[in-house]
């Protein structure tokens, strides 16, 4: 199937393939839209089953970034990059420097940051070859650095907004939350939730990650296979995408799904399945914008950590507006969010043409 016929293709502006035999780099940059500004989005390093799967992921994730940046009111469009490779075994400085050259080759139309499989240290290596990168080491008080704690902050505040809307709860005391994946974001989310008295159940394919949150925050470990069907108030997906699907939704017992993972719905119709099951879904790209808010403010320069936190604190009100509109119009929360994002991008495109 050609790229233009892929279901994930959605009028993307540019898709570029990069190859560097010396370092072994095989990468793709997908720029979905620059209507609102340069395309900002993370770099994922992953062992894809095929190049086609990597392209699909880049297309899907980059569109998600357009929507995410638009909904976070950021002056950035949406893009994403993927490096095809094993993040546990194949990382070298040369690989990320070659990736830096690749990013530089699109001349600032795409700005990279870390994502699943990449770290602040990797982005430092990228920065040796391009200035179009963020998520670098920063001094305390300044905006930027590892985006995971900032994403976790937004998700934490989003869970509070969802709990208020769906359960009438004004605090998190005793609220039960099952977190799928306690890595970069899930770990910090676990900390924030337990600090406010929530009961957290954690699952991760890495047993050491669960042990850590058990030791540090008294979270309870649950099996990876059953984390989504736990009898809890909230399920917080913080691992990978497409986990809300025809298999998982019928067995879910939570009243709320609110987590950091990108592209949680396998298909748009799964949003309807959640609505019909009376499960409130916090659209992923709205609730998980904390990291990109931090990374783009770091990139633009001049913002303090306090300013970034203030922007992240706007996430719960944005979610509540979507929840209310969805209820008022008997629509799914994902449909309402998609429409709002498309409107913002569409009016920016029209201004650009005019």
Residues lying near ligand NAD in the complex (CB under 6 A)? 115-116, 147-148, 151, 180-186, 203-206, 209, 224, 238-241, 260-262, 288, 291
**Least separation, in Å, of the C-beta of 316 and ligand NAD?**
16
Catalytic residue among 68, 80, 129, 160: 80
**Least separation, in Å, of the C-beta of 239 and ligand NAD?**
4
**Smaller CB distance to ligand NAD: residue 137 or 173?**
137
End-to-end CA distance of the chain: 35
272-311 burial by CB neighbour count: b if 16+ within 10 A, else e? Answer: bbbbeeebbbbbbbbbbbbbbbbbbbbbbeebebeebbeb
**Least separation, in Å, of the C-beta of 327 and ligand NAD?**
26
CA-to-CA dists, residue 7 to 32, 41, 179, angstroms: 14, 21, 30
Please give the torsion angle defined by the CA atoms of residues 53, 58, 63 and 65, in that order, rounded to the nearest 10 degrees.
140
**Least separation, in Å, of the C-beta of 49 and ligand NAD?**
15
Q: Which of 23, 127, 41, 130 is nearest to 77 (CA)?
A: 41
Clarify whether 80 is annotated catalytic: yes
DSSP state of 20: E
Task: Give me the helix-helix angle, 51-71 and 290-300, nearest 10°.
Answer: 80
**Smaller CB distance to ligand NAD: residue 107 or 126?**
126
**Smaller CB distance to ligand NAD: residue 194 or 262?**
262
- Nearest-CB residue for ligand NAD: 183
Tell me how far apart the alpha carbons of residues 80 and 119 are, in angstroms, rounded to a whole number: 15
**Smaller CB distance to ligand NAD: residue 103 or 238?**
238
Catalytic residues: 80
């Amino acid at each position: 199937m050609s790229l233009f016929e892929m279901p994930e293709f959605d009028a993307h502006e540019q898709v570029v393939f990069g190859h560097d035999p010396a370092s072994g780099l095989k990468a793709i940059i997908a720029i979905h839209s620059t209507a609102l500004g340069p395309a900002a989005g993370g770099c994922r390093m992953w062992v894809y089953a095929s190049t086609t799967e990597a392209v699909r992921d880049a297309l899907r994730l980059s569109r998600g970034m357009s929507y995410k940046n638009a909904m976070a009111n950021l002056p950035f469009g949406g893009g994403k990059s993927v490096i095809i490779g094993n993040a546990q075994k194949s990382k070298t400085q040369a690989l990320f420097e070659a990736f830096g050259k690749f990013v530089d080759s699109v001349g600032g139309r795409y700005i990279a940051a870390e994502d699943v499989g990449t770290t602040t240290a990797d982005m430092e290596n990228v920065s040796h070859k391009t200035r179009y990168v963020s998520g670098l080491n920063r001094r305390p008080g300044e905006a930027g650095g590892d985006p995971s704690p900032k994403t976790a902050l937004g998700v934490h505040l989003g869970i509070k907004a969802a709990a208020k809307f769906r359960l009438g709860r004004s605090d998190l005391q005793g609220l039960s939350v099952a977190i799928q994946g306690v890595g970069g974001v899930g770990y910090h989310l676990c900390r924030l939730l337990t600090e406010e008295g929530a009961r957290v159940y954690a699952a991760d394919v890495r047993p050491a990650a669960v042990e850590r949150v058990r030791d540090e925050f008294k979270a309870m470990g649950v099996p990876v296979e059953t984390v989504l069907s736990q009898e809890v108030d909230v399920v917080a997906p913080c691992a990978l995408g497409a986990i809300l699907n025809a298999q998982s939704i019928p067995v879910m017992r939570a009243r709320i799904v609110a987590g950091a993972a990108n592209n949680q719905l396998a298909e748009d119709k799964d949003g309807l399945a959640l609505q019909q099951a009376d499960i409130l879904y916090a659209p992923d790209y709205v609730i998980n914008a904390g990291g990109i808010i931090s990374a783009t403010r770091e990139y633009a320069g001049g913002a303090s950590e306090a300013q970034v936190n203030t922007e992240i604190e706007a996430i719960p009100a944005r979610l509540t507006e979507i929840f209310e509109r969805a209820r008022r119009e008997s629509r799914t929360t994902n449909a309402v969010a998609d429409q709002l994002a498309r409107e913002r991008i569409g009016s920016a495109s029209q201004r650009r043409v005019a």
